[in-house]
Amino acid sequence: MPTAAIVAQLAAQGFAFVEGTTMQRWLRQAGALADWPAFEASWADLAMDEYMADGGRDRRRRHAVFSIARDGRITREADQPHWQSLHYNPLNGGVARWFAPVADALAGGDSLTTILRWCHAHFGAWAPDVQRWRVEVHQFRIEAVPGRPGRPTPEGMHRDGVDYVLVLMIRRTNIAEGTTTIHALDRTPLGSFTLAEPFDAALVDDARVYHGVTAVEPVDPSLPAFRDVLVVTFRAERAMSGEE
């Protein structure tokens, strides 16, 4: 379970960093991670993000939508587009973006189910009146080559237009930089940290802070370089509207 310090930081500042060893222990308390090797390996089979308005070719991804009831029942919804307004995503917003779906075996597997169960237990505890959550799962790989840094957040410092966000590090290979920065709504810097090890995690109260990640570069320019993360967003169905 989250320590008092983590809960206090999230409540006070709207974000928290959790070290990988701690996050992995919390996840194992919530369920099994038996398929983790296959889950991690699936990042090698992501599809190119074809919607980059700036022409970027450094991002691969897969996407899935779930709903989670108050009692914890998890349902995978039909494949559907990811949509953000230009208010939240000035680079790629305002377009219904259809991404390759998360593979069925992974969507119903131990690791993702455990991650969703953990998120629901904690995000649900912070918002106990929510009857049902809309949950989006994004697998991201950011690739970097010499002379072309990879940009984990090409839209810059931003909010996602949801209630809560989990960013979970899966793997970094031959990557330098990639610092997560957090700002208050008035753009005052609140903190920074680097998701460097597997299971390192960021928890974000999206209504209260902006977040972004600096560009990544290869350590050895002769070798492949990439940053793999899982992003899980929770949005209360009561909060959804066509205005955002």
Range in 58-62, 106-110, 194-198, 213-217 with the lowest mean pLDDT: 58-62
Determine whether 188 is exposed, middle or buried from the number of CB atoms within 10 Å of its CB (0-12, 13-18, 19+): exposed
Cα-to-chain-centroid distance, residue 48: 17
Q: What pLDDT, in 10s, does the model give residues 220-232?
A: 999 999 999 999 9
Q: Rg of the Cα trace of the chain?
A: 17
**Residue of 177, 182, 176, 228 whose CA lies nearest to 203:** 182
**pLDDT at position 9, please?**
82
Whole-Å CA distances, 41 to 44, 46, 105, 108, 161: 6, 10, 13, 16, 29
Q: What is the pLDDT of residue 242?
A: 41
| Contact indicator for 229, 168 with CB cutoff of 8 Å | yes
Res 113 pLDDT > 70: yes
User: Once rounded to an integer, what is the mean pLDDT over residues 136-140?
Assistant: 97
Of residues 9 and 213, the one with the higher pLDDT is 213
71: pLDDT strictly greater than 70 = yes
When mean pLDDT is compared across 26-30, 47-51, 80-84, 238-242, the lowest value belongs to 238-242
Residue 158: per-residue pLDDT: 92
**pLDDT tens figures, 124-134:** 888 889 999 99
Specify the fold of 4-239.
Answer: Jelly Rolls (2.60.120)
* Mean pLDDT to the nearest integer, 2-20: 84
pTM for the full predicted model: 0.92
The average pLDDT across 1-13 equals 74
pLDDT, one tens digit per residue, over 35-54 is 999 999 999 999 987 755 56
Q: What is the pLDDT of residue 54?
A: 62
Q: Do residues 203 and 168 make contact, with C-beta atoms less than 8 angstroms apart? A: no
Annotated domain spans of the chain: 4-239
Q: What pLDDT score was predicted for residue 238?
A: 65
For residue 126, give the H/E element and its range: helix 110-126
